[in-house]
Structure 1
């Protein structure tokens, strides 16, 4: 199989990310070679039943595996206790056991949900990620964070459960609706802001090519994003040193916006784009960065046609949602904030008045 490979080095939990164009039909060969299962539980976005899920199902079945396909409704609301219970029971009915593998085909919702189900069914089954959205390819499919939402808090129930392999097919991105595709670019920009200033500059130069879904530009952006995330995960797999928290740049604001607005109002990447703008604004109020940083970041987000202004939401509700963020420590808000392009830090003890001032600016 042609393409590029990024290694996620985690000792005995290490795995490869396979990146290529048109490699979706190779999933069966890869899974059989590495895991040798007799049964595959393919958990897929219902919208992909006749397309990408069907391709993966045929590829898996061609190796002689028994395949059980379980479809999940599209949207963030499927990351729920109810959907998890349904999948557990259907897997039980399908005689899923330790010789089975769970294969997730879809965006971040499917990967998070299927990974959580894999981590918990039978005390843990091998798990394969086949992300079909840009956001999932560069972020949620890598690193092993799986989980579901509670009505009042996003990603509050979950586990660290690393996939055994990740297959990224850049060709599937040409089938994505424009809004979903653009949403994924927010997480790509995030990597440049938090870890790699030269990568950010490269994104500025390739913005038009990325908007056009140019294969070369996309492959380069996806590969570098995966390399950066893999290095962070290697150093802090379970968020024990604080390093992995840098990946949550913009997410404290974003998750609050998603929760208060309702999980369907904004796509995750859209909320992250707005959250990065707000995080930069907060950093300027704290004297950590200058206005030029904010302008440059916003200019790139604008060039990639991402939203940078939040919908009108009550500050009291947003602050209350932030208080439920997993980074809160002893009741105090903590934020990932930049000190310069390519470097961010986890900052604690931020006064609520400054957070409210940031929300009021909304620019």
Structure 2
């Protein structure tokens, strides 16, 4: 059991009423630990991707950790950090003129996804201050500049190299300053692509500066970090590779899951136990409505998480067969966990705690269905 989970269990045992289920519990100290570990491993600034966890209480308590910048994808997210002092980045392929206007007014840096967005930015030049922009490159551009790079699944993000060149030329015509570029290769992609991406990015820097006929200043190599740092990856060699970037370029990374995932827990209480044709079920007071990702509906092969059981009266017996944990949505796919054979039995009133739920789980969900209650939120140090 992790130190944070152990503390949560001690708090629950001391006062079982203080956590009203279903709920999320976030460990502020874990957020800080994860951010510090990432920055030390990478040796660069780390921009926080707000979509991972936009809870206001977390933002207030952890705001000092996000001094390197916060990336947002909507006006709603931008409003949440409008009064903060962090550098703001706005990045969304569907960004419209109103979003661009608000971003510019908020002194945010725009990450441009297509040439139409660039033209919209051009309409503000000379009328109000506009921060130097970044161009978002499709991940396949990395493969184009480094054939040894891992293959990517095609997607609709960013621009291909031909469009990037057009944008650079058009930016010169519109007097739009280009700070550099942004790339993102997808979730869990960092370890297998990191070194190859740097080698490609080094060449892209040369091309940007050649077309613009002046230096650029910023490269965001994206993230794709797992919920925990992969200790098998040679971060020292990676940091040495990053020194090949010209000294006038600030290299940064961004992270959401790598900062927040392991700092959050989802807690639900067992309402009922039942057996149907020799299959055992625990019916909890929270499920896919509050934590859609636990239901694994988007996975071809579902590997349900085994929750930690906080028992009112620990049962000395173990499960003879696996027991599924189901939620309250009246949906047959509302299965959020699985206690494997040999696990301690859980009973009505016991609490089930799922780990690694700090990123996306609370917001990427189907809460409006049935008008079921949203999960409560608690912070622990």
| Higher RCO (C-alpha under 8 Å, 6+ residues apart) | 2
Same fold (TM > 0.5) = no
When the two structures are superposed, what TM-score results if normalisation uses the length of structure 2?
A: 0.30
When the two structures are superposed, what TM-score results if normalisation uses the length of structure 1?
A: 0.31
